[in-house]
Chain A
């Protein structure tokens, strides 16, 4: 019974922590431009995140190797170091975007001054992370993120044609004109990237070690990675449907966070608007914390320094200094006036370019029988991992040119 409760809690936490600012904005924009036509990108991203999240968790449990220790060992010090820099830069940009998003949402909820809110919430988040153990951080943000269900409820309330929705699972090539075709590819890559954001696996793998998972917990690892991601991706489908049903017919391209949130409340009333704002707040605050902590995890794991939220600050000084530093620098970036959605655009595309360097070492490690023993990848795991890695590499190569050619997805 206790185990079942643990699994349920894990799944709910994964579900609540699945969506972040990038996903909210990118998916709603994709729906507003292409209706359900990019649903396949969500499905593909879901399969990919399940496969790699499960692998990361399994490697962490069996080999006691978190992601960046694997990256260092498999890519070598030089390439590993370059990956570390790129990943942490990405974490920093994402953290900055999420902090900016938090300030916007609180401003929309209360009318308080955005700059003061930004500084205040960053300090509160730092204090919260500093004082709480890992399990509490994960559960508070994950469970409160469940309020995002209001997006899925609103999507269902609009009565979409489900047969049309399902048709979106099959990719269709937009050959009508080249610009639309490029936009279609850009949003396809963007959604795929947003679903696979690296910090999610950094945090998940480190969390498995923080929570001291044992090989007998591997079934829990599989359940949390698969069910949590599937349910989380249903929220993402809800966002796509809202974009398709509310914004596409009105020719609105949601370029503001408030526009994306407004979609959830459109078919319902005021209470839904408040719930949507609170759900969004929880999700993006959770993502801000995850990215800041991932910064600390990555550096300490790469250099074999002590790390962990459950260690006393004195025992892991570098880890503490780095995650606090991540929050501080991210705050400065947003205070400098960079718009959060600009950062999101860039971090999603930049994230795609970095992804192969994180996922390839994980795949190799999980398929190494000498290290993984009886928990080594099955043939299906490896085949899926290789196939998805090829897609990740293709998307990584295409990401920047598509960003330039489409002026970052401008319709």
Chain B
């Protein structure tokens, strides 16, 4: 009986890495997946915009502002990284590219805000830039 036990086991041993590789391969993203990515990016941009306005009103403490922006930046970078692993169908590629570019712009603005927490003029300018990022993302989402 031993060979009967070995055969499926060998097959299994061969199949496991294959299955693993298939699982790791880039999955084709559906319209819903891309929409979900855009919704997440809009959320991040909107949060950055709201929080910048809050800092400008002098309502945040220095450490909270700095810490929260740091976490927000990590989240934006993580989302950008996840996005780069997405493999969309050709008709969705443009929306995904817009998403990636806007997230990079958002990350740059968050870094800029964190370096200039005391400078009201820089904060106002960054808030405006982030608003534009958000509007672009909203537009990309509604065009899907």
Contacts and interface: CB of A to CB of B under 8 A. Distances in A.
Interface string A145-164: 00000000000000000000
A258 B50 contact: no
Nearest to A259: B47
A109 B43 contact: no
Nearest to B134: A251
Interface in B61-118: 61-64, 66-68, 71-72, 75
Contact of B40 (A111, A179, A411): A411
B42 A251 contact: yes
A109 B47 contact: no
Contact of B46 (A109, A250, A265): A250
B131 to A, nearest CB: 12
A380 B50 CA distance: 49
A411 B68 contact: no
A270 B60 contact: yes
Interface string B34-56: 00100110110011001100100
Contact of A411 (B36, B46, B47, B63): B36
B32 interface: yes
A254 B63 CA distance: 20
A252 B50 contact: yes
B21 to A, nearest CB: 22
Contacts of B64: 108-109, 258, 262, 273, 277
B51 A255 contact: no
A108 B67 contact: yes
B59 A265 contact: yes
Interface residues of B, number: 24
A242 to B, nearest CB: 13
Given A108-B64, A179-B32, A259-B47, A266 B54 contact: yes
A74 interface: no
A274 B61 CA distance: 8
Given A179-B32, A258-B71, A251 B60 contact: no
Contacts of B42: 251
Nearest to B57: A269
Contacts, number: 72
A379 interface: no
Contacts of B54: 262, 266
A109 B67 CA distance: 9
Contacts of A265: 59-60
A150 to B, nearest CB: 14
A253 B50 CA distance: 13
Contact of A111 (B36, B67, B72): B67
A256 B72 contact: yes
A261 to B, nearest CB: 8
B60 A252 contact: no
Given A253-B40, A265-B59, A270-B60, A258 B67 contact: yes
A291 to B, nearest CB: 24
Contacts of A251: 39, 42-43, 46
B41 to A, nearest CB: 11
A410 interface: yes
A364 interface: no
A273 B51 CA distance: 13
Contacts of A253: 39-40, 43
B50 A256 contact: no
Contacts of B47: 250, 252, 254, 259
A262 B32 contact: no
3 smallest CB-CB distances across A and B, nearest first, come from A111-B63, A108-B67, A258-B68
Given A107-B63, A109-B61, A411-B40, 13 more contacts: A107-B67, A110-B63, A111-B66, A111-B67, A179-B32, A253-B40, A253-B43, A269-B59, A270-B60, A273-B61, A273-B64, A277-B64, A411-B39
Interface of B: 32, 36, 39-40, 42-43, 46-47, 50-51, 54, 58-64, 66-68, 71-72, 75
Interface of A: 104, 107-111, 179, 250-256, 258-259, 262, 265-266, 268-270, 273-274, 277, 407, 410-411
10 contacts: A107-B63, A108-B67, A108-B68, A251-B39, A252-B50, A254-B47, A258-B72, A265-B59, A273-B59, A273-B61
